[in-house]
Amino acid sequence: MDHFLYRDGVLYAEDIPVSEIAAKVGTPFYLYSSATLLRHFTLFDDALDGMPHLVCFAMKSASNQAILKLLADAGAGMDVVSGGEYMRAKAAGVPGDKIVFSGIGKTADEMRLALEGGIRQFNVESEPEMQVLSAVATQLGKTAPITVRVNPDVDAKTHAKIATGRKEDKFGIPIARARDVYALAASLPGLKVIGIDVHIGSQLTELAPFEAAYQKVAELTEQLRADGHEITRLDLGGGLGIPYTRSNEAPPLPTEYGALIKNTVGHLGCEIEIEPGRLISGNAGIMVSKVIYVKSGEGRDFLILDGAMNDLIRPAMYEAYHDIIPVIEPAPGVDQQPYDIVGPVCESGDTFAKQRDMPPLKADDLVAFRSAGAYGAVMSSEYNTRPLIPEVLVQGDQFAVIRPRPTFDEMINRDTIPEWL
């Protein structure tokens, strides 16, 4: 459920008409609903009720500091994957002991940053990473709390580009090798083994792969404890999917996911961490865009929008489907017609949808891309020297620009032309 609904024929974000924000901010822009973000976080938090737990928001999905602060104030921790994300979480006021550091390529500099600034745990993904972390921590006279990310060889049954738990994927340590790797960890100075980490992919629409992975983690917990390791924390990753189409069967709910966690690993007495991104931010954000032209092509009409693939790359990159709805609700029974919905960027890949049925639209009409809150703004670029589009946050009847649109000068003046040219 989200808070982008039609009221009296116009699309609202919580209590504000989207067109009112568009008039003030200009298009295109991203628009987030605080109530939806908080609702989704609370669903996860409640689903793990009764177990010691921390919901660490995967901030790679939406990393604006206003969003981070909103969630952190509600009790969320953060899952970060780079020094930049770590610094951004800290800048938003998230304490180090609520930040977990994931990722397969952490550099010594990034480790230093987190050890000095405070960190809840590193999720370590390889032996060489473990060696470097040991060296950095020892050098700083600190102890790095670690889990080892294991690769359980489970097919998440999602888009190949976002599946991470199969043996051919670059992530984690093969679970069969885990006991040796934990033995190595225990022998290295500067490290303290505290748990196990797993993350099998994103946009999972079934619970079975989670179940298979978490059962393997439960077995491994018992084995590692028998080997003498203190396993007190399980980081179970993110990945629960969202409905991108309203006609689609809905993916499992956080309550069902929470029940699965209790059933598979609840008996172990561990503190549970999860790292959801998309389910918290995805349906909490829309991208608002304006029709520039309606162009008649050979046997098809094109809706040319002012938003493009550089603003929302998901359709071009993952063949992702996003609902695109007019900001003025079509009259009941109005005839729909198929459009190819495209942006102005100079490549055919800049196509959001082909032959999508829409009510008739004309230049200057506004449309909203639904489910754009996750992996939207964060994956945008300035391709074609198009400025990054603004982000706006709504709460009730108030809104604020939380990332302004840069001016052309701000964008262009970042380049420096060498004197010798």
Residues known to be catalytic: 346
Binding ligand LLP (rule: CB under 6 A), the pick from 199, 216, 322, 370 is 199
* 58 binds ligand LLP per the rule CB under 6 A: yes
Residue 172 in contact with ligand LLP, rule: CB under 6 A: no
Residue 275 near ligand LLP by CB under 6 A: yes
Q: Using CB atoms within 10 A of its CB, is residue 381 exposed (0-12), middle (13-18) or buried (19+)?
A: exposed
Q: How far is the CB of 237 from ligand LLP (least distance, A)?
A: 5
- Contacting ligand LLP within 65-104 (CB under 6 A): 79, 102
CA distances from 311 to 13, 222, 255, 305 (A): 20, 46, 33, 11
- Whole-angstrom CA distances from 92 to 88, 89, 109, 140, 278 are 6, 5, 21, 25, 20
Give the nearer residue to ligand LLP in terms of CB position, either 168 or 419: 168
207 binds ligand LLP (CB under 6 A): no
Does position 120 interact with ligand LLP (CB under 6 A)? The reply is no
CA-to-CA separations, 265 to 113, 208, 214, 270, 361, in angstroms, rounded: 32, 15, 7, 8, 52
Which part of the chain contacts ligand LLP (CB under 6 A), choosing from 111-119, 269-277, 299-307, 404-412? 269-277
Q: How far is the CB of 279 from ligand LLP (least distance, A)?
A: 6
Number of residues counted as binding ligand LLP (CB under 6 A): 20
* Smallest gap from residue 284 Cβ to ligand LLP (A): 12
Nearer to ligand LLP, 61 or 380 (CB): 61
Extract long-range pairs of 102-109: CB within 8 Å, 24+ residues apart.
102/149, 102/197, 102/199, 102/275, 104/129, 104/170, 104/171, 106/133, 107/83, 108/132, 108/135, 108/136, 109/83
Per DSSP bridges, beta strands 16-17 and 191-197 are: unpaired
Pick the closer one to ligand LLP by CB: 376 or 390: 376
DSSP 385: G
Interaction of residue 61 with ligand LLP, rule CB under 6 A: yes
Span of 8-16, 27-35, 273-281, 335-343 interacting with ligand LLP by CB under 6 A: 273-281
Site for ligand LLP in 337-396 (CB under 6 A): 374-375
Query: Is the distance from CB of 276 to CB of 44 less than 8 angstroms?
Result: yes
Q: Which of 98, 133, 94 is nearest to 112 (CA)?
A: 133
Q: Which stretch binds ligand LLP (CB under 6 A): 26-34, 271-279, 338-346, 353-361?
A: 271-279
Separation of CA 175 from chain center: 25
| Nearest-approach distance from CB 394 to ligand LLP, in angstroms | 22
- Draw the binding track, 325-344, toward ligand LLP (x: CB under 6 A; -: no contact): --------------------
The nearer residue to ligand LLP, 289 or 371, going by C-beta atoms, is 371
Binding span for ligand LLP by CB under 6 A among 46-54, 211-219, 231-239, 263-271: 231-239
Decide: 37 and 284 in contact? Cβ < 8 Å. yes
* CA distance between the termini of the chain: 56
C-alpha dihedral (105, 109, 110, 113), degrees to nearest 10: 170
Using CB under 6 A, list all residues that contact ligand LLP. 58, 61, 79, 102, 162, 199, 202-203, 237-239, 275-279, 314, 318, 374-375
